[in-house]
Chains A and B, each alone.
Chain A
């Protein structure tokens, strides 16, 4: 496990054309890491996330992505991800290859990936058109009952990036609250990068807590408020007003580009990004 600053860690471990999963289901979305990927102008990434959320809307709109594997691509409770839509509907700023699943399918694919199985299975996708547009969704016959079961190939990202509440000095990671498929995505990856709210002497984790031990973690960067405008339980709330405001910002190509330039590209790091938002408010 390596402890570094976010800039170095992203530069060292994320490369053009890789498959990268920034996971976190509404909670603990690694925005700071996503913004650093954007600042470093990584290209041709195959982005993987159950819910692309605003962070992938930004990466897609900024031209970082070649492909997207996902299962629900909206702005939760608000509406569309306009940059994702523009990429799919109009190829702007570049065409986006789409690999589409249901949540249950993608959860099964991550779980298989974490266990290093070739595929995940579920009683799913019955009666839907999804297998017709995603030929990766197939089926097997149960060897015991002959029942037909849907299958999805394992997802094993080159790099998974998470945000968590805390790491201890050895590099063990504690995650509390809504988990999504973070643990599965972490263990499915070749390289695991974690940003944390803080580094502490002791995690004081309850016995059955979600802890990722230091020897599965490649690198850690301490980034306070690194999930903002998503949230970190116990540290700060989700900025729902920002999610509402994003709808207007992302609707228009010029306004989006101006926002990204002003707040992300012109900021050296996440602290400066937060300052620039506070100034604009």
Chain B
């Protein structure tokens, strides 16, 4: 599957939705442009460029097109996927467990689960980081980091 074709179709869809949404906001007139005017121009521009990229992907087909499967070939994509999932988990647990516990868990999972460091390093480095962060943000800067159900 040609990557440029897929991406251009995505952008075309985005551009068309933007143009529709902009009309809902109101385009105004050329004498007095409305709230949707700039967004409509942006959506129109995106749609035109998307068509251009799509046509470019067809015209250049005789060369070496960018295939989707090649984009991830030879890469350890599961590592970035894991890190993405862990970060998402951090965001979801942030308010509930509090900033320091969720950060500690995130760092621990990254050092131990993803990077396979020793237990000592995987516990010590996050613990040290959290201690310094607690002093800097809670005590010195008096930041309002979420405390969670455990109160810190």
Do A and B come from the same complex?
no
Please report A residues at the B interface, Cβ cutoff 8 Å: none
Please report B residues at the A interface, Cβ cutoff 8 Å: none
